[in-house]
Amino acid sequence: MIFREHVIIYAQPGALPAGAFDDLIARAKEIDMAKVHEEIANESKGEA
């Protein structure tokens, strides 16, 4: 499970090969968390 700024951004069970794990971490670092928080706020307001 990967959290960023108190938001779960990855939650899959099981192990990953090293290359896939490294790719997952790189992608997690690239996520625009401001946009994620905006989308969460819109969903909670019913604007999804």
Q: Are 24 and 2 spatial neighbours (Cβ–Cβ below 8 Å)?
A: yes
What pLDDT shows up at residue 5?
Answer: 97
Closest of 6, 16, 15 to residue 40, by C-alpha: 6
What pLDDT shows up at residue 15?
Answer: 95
Banded pLDDT at 48 (limits 50, 70, 90): low
Q: What is the pLDDT of residues 18-36, one digit of tens each?
A: 999 999 999 999 999 999 9
